[in-house]
Amino acid sequence: MVIFIDGKKVCLRPVFKEDLQKDYLRWINDRSNDGLTGHALFPHTLADLESFFMSRIKDKRTLWLAIIKKENDRHIGNIELSDIDLINGNAEYKILLDKNEQGKGLGYEASKLILDHGFKKLNLHRIYLGVHQDNKAALGLYKKLGFKVEGTLRQHFHRAGQYKNIIVMGLLSREHQ
């Protein structure tokens, strides 16, 4: 197996075309997640994913990786640094884990691996993200990783008649342990 970044319980490797046909299609069409992540506003077909995949692998400003559970070699989620800006030294971080694998410390470990890579190898200075105000798991994870609240996009996210805030958080290289 190609390993890009190795950890204890998880490792990160490139997303392969074969990954698209398996659980990934289910994750991004999961409407129960949609209220917090906005993934499933439109249905995603395999053809959509394949064209997204082709654009992603050509995009040199994005580091898009599959999270692999080492115990059974299963692809359990994706993680990325996107909009990598090497002049200003910043990038956006995103993560999505299979529901059955949440709450086991795997998101934290995968995040540490990609943040380490971003700060130590890509020489980034600031990594940022946006998160729904009610996404308790994600807010807890980001706080544990050391992200600080930098601002609020007020009433930025709409679902079923309600507008919710998106919290913008950032982590500077000197704050990352």
Ligand X SMILES: CC(C)(COP(=O)(O)OP(=O)(O)OC[C@H]1O[C@@H](n2cnc3c(N)ncnc32)[C@H](O)[C@@H]1OP(=O)(O)O)[C@@H](O)C(=O)NCCC(=O)NCCS
| Beta pairing partners, 170 | 128, 148
Tokens of 159: 């679902």
Q: Does 96 bind ligand X (CB under 6 A)?
A: yes
Measured CA to CA, the distance from residue 40 to residue 21 in angstroms comes to 17
Q: Does 81 bind ligand X (CB under 6 A)?
A: no
Measured CA to CA, the distance from residue 18 to residue 39 in angstroms comes to 21
Segment near ligand X (CB under 6 A), from 64-72, 92-100, 120-128, 154-162? 92-100
Question: Binding to ligand X (CB under 6 A): which residues in 51-70?
Answer: none
**Shortest spacing between CB 149 and ligand X, in angstroms:** 13
Segment near ligand X (CB under 6 A), from 66-74, 85-93, 133-141, 169-177? 133-141
CB-nearest residue to ligand X: 107
**Shortest spacing between CB 8 and ligand X, in angstroms:** 13
Measured CA to CA, the distance from residue 96 to residue 24 in angstroms comes to 10
- Give the CA count within 13 Å in the CB-facing half-sphere of 33: 19
Tokens of 173: 């290289």
How many residues touch ligand X under the rule CB under 6 A: the total is 21
Q: Which is nearer to ligand X, 64 or 108 (CB)?
A: 108
Q: Which residues of 63-78 are buried (b: 16+ CB within 10 A; e: fewer)?
A: bbbbbbbeeeeebbbb
Segment near ligand X (CB under 6 A), from 3-11, 64-72, 102-110, 156-164? 102-110
Contacts of 104 (CB under 8 A, 6+ apart): none
Q: Does 36 bind ligand X (CB under 6 A)?
A: yes
Segment near ligand X (CB under 6 A), from 41-49, 58-66, 83-91, 99-107? 99-107
Q: Which amino acid is at 128?
A: Y
**Shortest spacing between CB 126 and ligand X, in angstroms:** 17
Block residue for tokens 């500077």: 172
The residues of the shown chain that bind ligand X, judged by CB under 6 A, are: 33, 36-37, 95-97, 102-108, 131, 135-138, 140-141, 144
